Amino acid sequence: MKKFLAVLVIFSFLGSSVASAVAPLAGMPPVLDPNDIYSADRPNAFSDVVKNFPKIAYVPNHTSNTLTEIDIKTMKVIATYPMKKGPQHVVPSWDLKTLWVNNNGG
């Protein structure tokens, strides 16, 4: 019986930590499907915040330590920005108001 209770307590603990992992952060909109953290990320399902933004790609260039901004319609380079060592990813903040350039170089 003690073994059963110990296992039950462990599973209860794990279950609560998994459930809290999908809980949004303060100020974030609710998750549409608690079983799919990416449920709001589907093709052409743009947020009202960004649906009228210009269609621009931001490309990190790891070797040259730059970030290139490209107009998707014309495929022309708009600008190239110097970055610190080794830019790898461009990711939006949760509210879609800021883009962050990530790197492993610091």
Query: How confident is the model over 56-95, as pLDDT tens digits?
Result: 999 999 999 999 999 999 999 999 999 988 999 999 988 8
Cβ neighbours for 39, distance < 8 A, ≥ 6 positions apart: 31, 32, 33
pLDDT reported for residue 23: 55
pLDDT reported for residue 24: 66
pLDDT reported for residue 94: 82
81: nearest Cα among 103, 59, 102: 59
> Residue 18 class from Cβ within 10 Å (0-12 exposed, 13-18 middle, 19+ buried)?
exposed
Question: Is pLDDT larger for residue 16 or for residue 103?
Answer: 103
User: Is 37 within 8 Å of 22 (Cβ atoms)?
Assistant: yes
**pLDDT of 102 above 60:** yes
Cβ neighbours for 26, distance < 8 A, ≥ 6 positions apart: none
Mean pLDDT score, 35-47: 82
Mean pLDDT score, 6-16: 45
Cα–Cα distance, 74 to 59 (Å, whole number): 15
Q: What's this model's pTM, rounded to 2 decimal places?
A: 0.59
pLDDT reported for residue 18: 45
Which residues partner with 99 through β-bridges? 92
